[in-house]
Amino acid sequence: MRYLLLPLLLMAVPCSAQWTRDEALPESEVPSLLPHGTGLFVGGVGTLHHQPSPGAPWEAWNAIPEDLLYLDALAHFGGSLFAGTGGAAMYRCNGAGSPWVASPGLVGLGSSQVSCIAEFQGSLYCGTMGGGTFRLVNDTWQPFGALGDDQANNVYFLRAIGDTLWCGGGGNGYLFRISAGATDWTPVPVDVVAGLSIEFTDIIEVPGALVAGGTMGTYRSTDHGASWTWTAGPAAVVKFTWWNDVLIASRTGGSTRWFRSNNDGLSWEVFSETALSFAHVLYNGRFYSGQLDGLWYMENLPTAVNDPEPNAFELFPNPAQERITLRTQEAMPASFRVLDPLGRTVLSGITHGVSETIDISHLPAGPYTLFLSTRIGNRTMPFVIQ
């Protein structure tokens, strides 16, 4: 999923040693991956490759009849492969050697940029960057439901979990859900904070809970998504995979940093850093990642490493009384939240400078946590008010 990452595509980080590139495929962007049957589909820039079974030669399918078109989402449904593109809506194909044909119905502002596709209860749904969600009805896409304000029509993910289809719409602190037979989305408030733009980019089921991730960190729900608790964690464009009883999260900003959680998302450790990763899946016992410079995989999950990201932020004085000062190494927009010991947001806002002062004079004495989210990552900084 590229859309939150577009300003960062000029930055690259070499893959850590535990990754291996599949050199049979081009050393170029891989926006989408789809395991299907015994094989794996790999979406590229105007190209699609298919490995019918593990170890088999890669097959190059016919090119979509549009130049330099990102294949951002893939799904196999009703005997056809559907490819959502970054600018020419949806195409479908019946197999290698068959032509791609347009899948009609995606009309309206932003509907030509397909970000995700999901099958749910025998129907196929897709999300777009600006046009909201659609459902395939009699081989034609039709608008489905409403996601609130215009910004929510930027759809970052669709994921079916049990009897629920979950949707992440942009900017408003909500997730959205439907059950079988529903004709509209039900909004679920997760982290609605005035003045902050909070996007959710993925959700996953873990034993006894759901974990959601996005631009302000990770959240857990132990009541099937009815209520959510913020748990810090990686923040930015976050995508999840469950591998060998370990929860894996990619956090993509200027590069992609890889996190692992051995306790179902309650705490996280960094284990790798790579170039931008757009998608990751399990296939043939390996962990595959579609990255800025090709298709990469891991055979085994490495142990955690020390966090190499430099400490770019300072908060002082600590302990504090009426004000705290937040200092960064460079001027950058940042959103912040101050949390009380129960995890409730008691103060929030946006900063822009290298050094800014935050008024805390109205808060009672006690321990607090400042959570800061910027384009280079997030920081959690405890402090005390005397």
How does pLDDT run along the chain (386 residues), one tens digit per residue?
565 554 444 344 445 558 999 999 999 899 999 999 999 999 998 889 999 999 999 999 998 877 668 999 999 999 999 999 999 999 999 988 899 999 999 998 889 999 999 999 999 999 999 999 999 999 999 999 999 776 778 999 999 999 999 999 877 889 999 999 999 999 999 987 765 678 899 999 999 999 999 988 899 999 999 999 988 788 888 999 999 899 999 998 767 999 999 999 998 899 998 888 999 999 999 999 999 899 999 999 887 664 444 456 788 898 899 999 888 766 667 778 887 766 677 888 888 777 889 999 999 888 887 877 765 556 777 788 88
Number of domains in the chain: 2
DSSP letter assigned to residue 151: G
Of 298, 324, 339, at which residue does a domain stop?
298
Q: From 298, 328, 343, give the residue that closes a domain.
A: 298
Last-in-domain residue among 298, 328, 361: 298
Q: Which domain holds residue 227?
A: 3-298
Which one, of 69, 60, 55, lies nearest residue 42 by Cα? 60
Same domain, 322 and 202: no
- Kindly state whether residues 287 and 161 are assigned to the same domain: yes
| 135 & 12 share domain | yes
The pLDDT score that the predictor gives to residue 69 is: 82
pTM for the model? 0.79
| Contact call for residues 334 and 374 (beta carbons, < 8 A) | yes
Q: Are strands 155-161 and 140-144 parallel, antiparallel or unpaired?
A: unpaired
Q: Same structural domain for residues 325 and 285?
A: no
**What whole-number distance in Å separates Cα of residue 58 and Cα of residue 64?**
18
140: in domain: yes
One domain, residues 239 and 336: no
Helix (H, G, I), strand (E, B) or coil at 3: helix
**pLDDT, position 16:** 52
User: Coil, strand, or helix at residue 108?
Assistant: coil
Rounded CA-CA distance 108/142 in Å is 11
Q: Which pLDDT does position 314 carry in this prediction?
A: 80
Q: Are residues 119 and 190 in the same domain?
A: yes
